[in-house]
Amino acid sequence: MILTKKILLCFGTRPEAIKMAPLYHELHKRCFVVKVCVTAQHREMLDQVLDFFGIIPDYDLNLMQPNQTLNRLSAAILSKMDNVLCEVKPDLVLVHGDTTTSSMVALAAFHRGIKIGHVEAGLRTYNKGAPFPEEINRQIISRIADIHFSPTRHATQNLLKEGVSGNSIIETGNTVIDALFWTLNKIEKENYKNNEIDKLKSTIPSQKKIILVTGHRRENFGEGFRNLCEALLTLSQRKDVVIVFPVHLNPNVKEVVFELLSDKKNIYLINPVSYPAFVWLMQQSFLIVSDSGGIQEEAPSLGKPVLVTRTVSERAEGITAGFSTLVGTDKNKIINTIQDILDNFIGFSKLQNPYGCGDASQQIANYLLNLD
């Protein structure tokens, strides 16, 4: 492979942007020519992250549409990316994770004969319906990518079992830990001002145990979210608890959550918050309930237990180490597990995060710098 000089970073969602941001800055420091293309698969939530991390895209495809189907989004990404790739002519395209943006950008680059690097490669559930469509997206990217930046040993083993050459796999840790530490360092400075955090400080009772809740997975739409809300309603009756739920903008989430949990004592339904405000919320929480992959990776560094509202997780390392617990969307299991943590959790005896120590971006940049 030729020495990589011009790199195109492509992403479209808030989680991708968070995880690519530290890599963007690290590549700039190493004097690569870096171009950024965003599809804006998520618009408002993406823009918050770009602003916080100081990233101005060179190309913004602005593809978000209400109730857009995956097929329509995929077709739009393939079509629009063709023009971008022809104009930039990158030596390498870097995509992240498992989104529709990442899989379609990788495919577009492959069609143009451009090398592809996959950040956060090798995560698997081997269940094509969970998470949907992410599991198939990441498997597609693994078939296409030339360089696989694996976050953990487990992810590396997945790739090796699938026949990926070990010479193309670089185990780095996860860049989300880089982003987390960067954010903590920024928001903990005395001169840092954030109106969202100030508002949260004045609104949420600090003397109670905070249960922080998020949810967005398609496989939980409908009954899954109803079960979660009913469990939270039961738990909110505890006098020592306050539930904080930044509600995802997707109508499949928002309508159910507001129907069942609006105007309930000890439950705060809030709009999605910016990344720094969410990191602050994680810091303040006693435990986190979520179907998010990134939160499973970040929480160990903060010493916070996570209940994963999924039946299977591609982030087995956190579960094996005891940082995360799979509870699915079974109402009674959610209630009983949370009750147990609220009453008995006194902290983790070992806080070594299985997803890295915050130097993943440096390791990726080092590899690319020495590539010939």
Q: Which sequence positions are flagged as catalytic?
A: 98, 120, 134, 216, 218, 248
- Listed in sequence order, the DSSP H helices in 209-265 are 223-235, 251-261
**Backbone CA torsion sign across 20, 22, 25, 26:** negative
* CA pair distance 278, 284, nearest whole angstrom: 10
What residues are paired with 242 via a beta bridge?
210
List the beta strands (DSSP E) in 238-297: 241-246, 267-270, 287-290
| CA distance to 3, 118, 158, 167, per residue, from 115 (Å) | 11, 10, 22, 15
Q: Burial code of 144-162, b = ≥16 C-beta within 10 A, e = fewer?
A: ebbbbbbbbebbbebbeee
> Comparing C-alpha atoms, which of 223, 225, 219, 228 is closest to residue 130?
219
* Cross-sheet strand order for the sheet of 33-38: 59-60, 33-38, 6-11, 92-96, 115-119, 147-150, 169-171
Omega of the bond leading into 300 within 30 degrees of 0 (cis): no
The CA-to-CA distance between both ends of the chain, in Å, stands at 6
